[in-house]
Structure 1
Amino acid sequence: MRSFTAALLPILASTLGLGTLCGAAPAAAQRLAYETLDLDDTSLSGPGARRSRLMVSGGAVLDVSLPELTGREAAYGPFRVLDGARAALVDATGPRSPAQFSAMLRDYPGINVLEMVECPGTRDDLANLELGRLIRARGVATHVPSGGSVRSGGVELFLAGARRLADPGAEFAVHSWIDEDGLQPGDYALSAPVNRRYVDYYRHMGMSPLEAEAFYAMTNSVPFTQARWFGAGVMSLWVPFDGAAAPLAPDVRS
């Protein structure tokens, strides 16, 4: 697993580089603004850096409206209970995260919004996809507030929201995964189970087959040692957002 300190190198991506999948790219744009960070630069890695799908924040946001945490919130792994209707995700997910999420909803059944405050990724991709399916099955909305940061495996969790909300000033980042043998998505056929699990997940979250393959290609358009950063505006071209960023009433969700 790898952790690192980020310094952005801004670029304007002239195309998504998706080949025959470009027809399934965001409907409103074939030319999108991204920022790319080279994570292989040792100047960006602190002592003890480890391999992971975890990424630190990509840059400062001036207009920050993050939920205030007091340190007294009920904690369930990376989740913090903010009030009767909202919880926050403030750390990487891991193998126990699905059970921790279920326990939180058992104890606080009115929670229907997950505030994605600091989401650096996951230590267990399979558990992370299971968690995403739980979020969708329980009808929980995902909201990235201004200043919130959703990276790597955290993006799968954002997509899981029964409603998806992201404010101006939210940031997202994606990159290729890497397995224990050092292989990345391009080393396998798209039809291989290790790739299909992500495409199938995106379809489960509402994308068409072509949209799912195009989104997966975009996430893999930079290698594991780099990251592609973008804001809420670009993300909204890939998946629809759902109205104002306000919690649902606790009694709305069945």
Structure 2
Amino acid sequence: MRGLFALILCCAAMLGAPVSAQGYVVQYTVTEEWVEVPPAPESADRAIAFRRARTPTSIAAYGPFRVLDARRAVLVGVTGPATPSEFKAMLRDYPQIAQLDFLEAPGTDDDRANLATGRLIRAAGIATHVPADGSVRSGAVELFLAGAKRTIDDGAEFAVHSWLDDSGRQADDYAADSPEHAYYLRYYREMGMSAEAARAFYDMTNSVPHETALWLGAQDMRQWLGDSPVDGVVTSKPKSAPESQPRISYLDLGTTNF
């Protein structure tokens, strides 16, 4: 009873407070959607992204995927353990999707799920495209390679670096013939690379440690595709990249199947 009396007195005091002492909450609506990964502490399961990207108007969203229309979707975020299921759900609802654009693709939190998603992209016969303002970094590069047809506009940028496993070891901490390396080489072969090209590309991605990044321009990346240059595109020199790190490629060699 004493508690109830105190509560009544408290409410009465609040109601009697002068207007100048009352607080106000102002609500407003922002009409633009942004995708941003804030800086995070350096660790095996954290990442750093350097930019934010305007999300195009979409009719549906499935994790990092945005459906633009019945035949085109865009990737605007980090992939993770749920991404294969999200991709399957998108194709279930929009089975006519034929192209996936890479606008702001920082990488992945789970390489096993990331490569499973790449295999789904290839199996569906979906083309991948990077527009002039697109940024494809770390594990997202593997997803781009999965396209049945792959095109890149001048101005697009890519970033690669060594993967990091959940014990803090990087690619060069493992023997050359280890299963960890074979895991990636097999994927590149499935995406159409010869054994020699797969090895060369893999070595290139691991040529810099996880803490840094190797930045590639549009033409740099085209040379790894084995495709003819896109008609009408004039190759330009790679633009300078911000001095920031791309998102990590997180290696998980567990037994999870997708």
Q: TM over 0.5, yes or no?
A: yes
Select which of 120, 124, 145 maps to 1:159: 145
Aligned partner of residue 169 in structure 1, secondary structure? coil
CA contact (8 A) 1:53 1:177 kept: no
For the 8 Å contact 1:175–1:219, the answer to whether it is kept is: yes
* Local SS of the residue matching 2:143: helix
The residue aligned with 1:96 is: 82
Which of 193, 199, 214 is residue 228 of structure 1 equivalent to? 214
- 1:241 deviates by 3.9
Aligned AA for 1:166? I
Mark the runs of 5 or more structure 1 residues left unpaired by the alignment.
1-44, 61-65, 246-254
Contact 2:104 2:135 in 1 (8 A): yes
Separation in 1, partners of 2:46, 2:143: 14
- In the other structure, the counterpart of 1:75 is 61
Match among 121, 131, 153 for residue 145 of structure 1: 131
Seq. identity, %: 55
C-alpha distance 53-161 of structure 1, shift in aligned 2 (>3 A): farther
- Paired residue for 2:223? 237
Matches for 1:2-17 after TM superposition, within 5 Å = none
Write the distance in 2 (CA, Å) between the matches of 1:54 and 1:112.
30
Tell me which residue corresponds to 2:7.
none
Q: Which runs of 4+ in 1 moved over 6 A?
A: none
* 157-166 or 180-189, larger mean C-alpha shift: 180-189
Task: Describe the shift of the 1:118–1:53 C-alpha distance in structure 2 as closer, same or farther (beyond 3 A).
Answer: farther
Residue 213 (str. 1) matches residue 199 (str. 2): yes
User: Do 1:55 and 1:151's aligned partners in 2 also have CA atoms closer than 8 Å?
Assistant: no
RMSD over aligned Cα atoms: 2.3
Corresponding position of 1:170: 156
Higher RCO structure, 1 or 2 (CA under 8 Å, sep 6+):
1
Q: 1:67 to 1:168 in 2, by over 3 A?
A: farther
Residue 216 of structure 1 aligns with an amino acid whose one-letter code is Y
Give the conservation status (yes or no) of the 8 Å contact 1:116–1:148: yes
Larger Rg: 2
Determine which of 63, 71, 93 is the counterpart of 1:85. 71
When the two structures are aligned, how many residues end up with a matched partner?
194
| Shift in alpha-carbon separation, 1:204–1:98, aligned structure 2, 3 A | same
Structure 2 unaligned spans of 5+: 1-37, 233-258
Does residue 56 (structure 1) correspond to residue 63 (structure 2)? The answer is: no
Cα distance in 2, alignment partners of residues 244 and 104 from structure 1: 30
